[in-house]
Amino acid sequence: MVIEPLGNYKNSIKQFFVNLKVTNGKYVSSVADAKREMLTTKVGLFIVEWALDSTNGIQFCRDLRKNPLYKDTPFVLMSVENLKKDVILASEVKIDAYMIKPFSYEDFCSQLLLVHKTQTAQSEVNILLNKAEELVASGDYPEAIEAFDLILRKKENSARAYCGKARAKWAQQQHEAAMHLLRIATNFNPDYIDAYKIMLEISEHKGNKVGIVQAASILTSMSPENPKYTLILAKVYMELNHLEGSENYFKKTIMLSPKLAEAYKGLGSVYLVQNEYDKAKKNFKKALDLDSDDISTLNSLGTTLLRMGNFEDGINRYLLALKLDPANPSVLFNIGHAYEKNSDIEKAKWYYAQALIHKPGFDKAVRGIERLENEGSSIPEDDDKAS
């Protein structure tokens, strides 16, 4: 299957296949057309243009690899530019060949031959690597480590072997040893994206925010089209109270993935902390347009509206969240807090009590009840930021 929007290139590739006596090709102009063909046709080779209208060739391949039918299907990417980031992205999603336009019939044939050789004749080391990685996947970590050590005796600079051994060590809770092996892997191959992915996983598991920032920053530079890493950076900067950095990365995530509700919710949270309520409201509403049943977004929007002085709408948002999760102690507390600020003491007490039923010892709810029973005490500042 060839996905090429330009007619001249599409016709040239079709003629190349005629010369090769290949008659079962499909030639389409878009991913949508390709997906329609794939409903009735099993594809054995993809040749795809990088620049497409609704997506790009890398993203199409990334989506394709999620389908078990196509996780190993040969994939050739075409581009008018030889950009390093494209090549790195291509290796990330298992692209088998990369053709720079314009290309001749001879160039085309040589790339297909390369794909054929890669598919049919793996090296001894690659066969051993595949077996070792299967051992990791099956949970046989000691045997996997022995297998990777054997590979490293044959090829001492194999970043893939160091990376695989690191994954086995990590599975055995040997985090420092795993990170050491990953650093060796990236010394041998600074562009080996799998190593940085594992570094990120380990850092997230340990709650190492500095490590998360370092690994996610590298992954963002290597895979700039992937919103996963910009979203991770946005969240960790938010946790570090680096609001400017968090705002920038949430915005980048939205540019890369305009329909990701989580990014709008995060950006709304940044603005809420900064007391920019109009911006917070706008982003929370956009998040709810994309995911109307997200309780935390409804909760945050309720808080935003209340701070803007819109009591009725704020309470209504809380009640929508409570309808989705009647036992949510944070929502119950926020409703009680809203009624307390609105001087409706009985309702405030009732909702605080409900919050304590579902979360015994909830300190803010305890303090709320104590305030209401001790007339004249003021609402602490930290309780005013309950969402």
Report which of residues 86 and 11 the model is more confident about.
11
Report which of residues 85 and 127 the model is more confident about.
127
Query: What does the alpha-carbon distance between residue 193 and residue 197 come to, in Å, rounded to a whole number?
Result: 6
Domain that includes residue 270, residue range: 224-284
Global pTM value? 0.66
362 CB contacts (<8 Å, ≥6 apart)? 329, 333, 355, 356
CATH number for the domain that contains residue 263:
1.25.40.10
Cα of first residue to Cα of last residue in the chain, in angstroms, is 51
The reply to whether 252 and 205 lie within a common domain is no
CA angle 217, 219, 223 (to 5 degrees): 125
Query: What does the alpha-carbon distance between residue 252 and residue 246 come to, in Å, rounded to a whole number?
Result: 10
The reply to whether 126 and 116 lie within a common domain is no
Query: What does the alpha-carbon distance between residue 304 and residue 286 come to, in Å, rounded to a whole number?
Result: 14
Q: Which pLDDT value is given to residue 252?
A: 96
Q: Contact 109/20 with Cβ under 8 angstroms? A: yes
Is the pLDDT confidence value at 328 over 70? yes
Q: Which pLDDT value is given to residue 226?
A: 86
Report which of residues 387 and 127 the model is more confident about.
127
| Count of domains observed in the chain | 4
Is residue 246 classed as helix, strand or coil in its secondary structure?
helix
Boundary-marking domain end, from 257, 284, 311:
284
The reply to whether 257 and 299 lie within a common domain is no
pLDDT tier for residue 387 given thresholds of 50, 70 and 90: very low
169 CB contacts (<8 Å, ≥6 apart)? 141, 145, 175, 177, 178, 181
Q: Contact 332/369 with Cβ under 8 angstroms? A: no
Boundary-marking domain end, from 203, 219, 235:
219
Boundary-marking domain end, from 83, 103, 120:
120
- Across the range 311-320, mean pLDDT stands at 95
Q: Which pLDDT value is given to residue 59?
A: 86
Ramachandran region, residue 376 (left: φ > 0; alpha: ψ -120 to 50; beta: rest):
left
Average pLDDT of the chain?
89
The reply to whether 189 and 229 lie within a common domain is no
Is the pLDDT confidence value at 204 over 90? yes
User: Chain centroid to CA 214: how far?
Assistant: 16
The alpha helices in the chain, defined as continuous H runs, are: 7-19, 31-38, 57-65, 84-92, 105-120, 124-138, 141-154, 159-171, 175-188, 193-206, 209-222, 227-239, 243-256, 261-273, 277-290, 295-307, 311-324, 329-341, 345-358, 363-373
Q: Which of 80-89, 99-108, 195-204 has the lowest mean pLDDT?
A: 80-89
